[in-house]
Amino acid sequence: MNNKKYIKGTKISDIDTPSILVDLDIAENNIKKMQTFADENNVSMRPHSKTNKSPYWAKKQIDQGAIGICCAKLGEAEEMASGGVKEILIPNQIVGKSKIQRLVEVNKISKVMVAVENEDNIEELSEAFENNSLKLGVIIEVNVGMDRCGVELDEIVEFTNKINQKKGLSFEGIMGYEGHTVNIDNYEDRVNETNKAMNKLIKAKNLIEESGVEVRIVSASGTGTYNITSKIDGITELQCGSYIFMDGNYLKIFDDFQPALTLMCTVVSRRDNRIVIDCGLKSVSMDQGLPEVVSPKGIKLVGLSEEHCKCIIETEEENELRVGDKIFLRPMHSDTTINLHDDYFVHRNGLLEESVPIVGRGKFK
């Protein structure tokens, strides 16, 4: 196992490959830009950490004004709590006795809220927290059109009342994820479909409040819809995550935030106009398509296997490429690529600031 440590000031080109590099100036500017936008639109930021998987980045977001973070899984939340993050929303369901007991324990360290949508689940959650003399904050997930998880509008009032009858639970609000709209290319279509989804969420809020129950939190939004969802009256917070680094796929849709993350690789073979670099499916994901070559220009990636990536040199300018030279890729989907790596190599102006452990990688339980 490679446990080599790099000192501050190391040239990034001297770091072993394949490795994830993050331009700290760009990432910090993305964080600041999103927080400023949220502040100007009177919504809170609760950034999703399923992208960055590290308290290092979560704390930077909180320092800029975020009220807390989201974690996709309980395992991520445990790492974030251990890393000093004090308010966490898990916008997914925590089901089963063993996970619920872990949820009890992590709530002794940090305030962790969870999304709920099932009556048996809220019964188990309430019993576990009441038995530990604790109260768990919950938000109801509303199905806003993804047809994944979520309570339907005609069930929302009854389900809210059932939560309020549970001594171990505290009803905090509702959420809805318009994930089916965030990657729509055409802006007008993205606006229309997002509004349809969020109208369902606001309708749920109104139905609950008409029944006499306060809805304190109305949480939603992905990076692709941040500037649409934030302007809808009644939305209180945004769950965006990818904006911090920006995925290749999002960059096809808009350039409001700049790409901060690249995967640095090394040329290990060259034959005529074909080169092979030392990354493959074990170090870069392609669930949303093949990565693109950022630098040098004039190179096209044509295929990935487990440990190899084959590229074609398309321009004369790159005919001097040799074995040992560096190639920089941008994943189409950062989240799933980051999950394959142990560390970020964070740099300014090409010089290493620090290596940051990706403590949330593989924490899918």
Closest by CA position to 174, among listed 225, 133, 211? 211
Q: Which two tokens stand for residue 347?
A: 């740099």
What pLDDT score was predicted for residue 319? 73
Please give the share of the chain, as a percent, with pLDDT higher than 70. Answer: 99
Q: Is residue 133 a contact partner of residue 108, using CB atoms and an 8 Å limit?
A: no
pLDDT band per the 50, 70, 90 thresholds, residue 318? low
Q: Which residue spans within 91-166 are E strands per DSSP?
A: 111-116, 136-141
Residue 27, H or E segment: helix 24-40
pLDDT band per the 50, 70, 90 thresholds, residue 315? confident
**Residue range 19-30: average pLDDT?**
98
Q: Which two tokens stand for residue 251?
A: 């960059």
pLDDT in tens, 215-261: 999 999 999 999 999 999 999 999 999 999 999 999 999 999 999 99
Q: What are phi and psi of 35, to 5 degrees?
A: -65, -40
pLDDT in tens, 37-96: 999 999 999 999 999 999 999 999 999 999 999 999 999 999 999 999 999 999 999 999
Residue 11 is given by DSSP the state: B
- pTM metric for this prediction: 0.96
- CA dist 110 to 25, 82, 106, Å? 30, 9, 6
> Which are the contacts of 230, defined by CB distance < 8 A and separation ≥ 6?
37, 38, 41, 43, 221, 238
For residue 313, the cross-strand partners are: 299
pLDDT in tens, 269-300: 999 999 999 999 999 999 999 999 999 999 99
**What is the distance, to the nearest Å, from the Cα of residue 205 to the centroid of all Cα atoms in its chain?**
25
Q: Which two tokens stand for residue 319?
A: 């005919």
pLDDT band per the 50, 70, 90 thresholds, residue 3? low
Closest by CA position to 146, among listed 124, 122, 115? 115
List, as one string, the DSSP characters of 154-206. Answer: GGHHHHHHHHHT-TTEEEEEEEE--TTTTT-SSHHHHHHHHHHHHHHHHHHHH
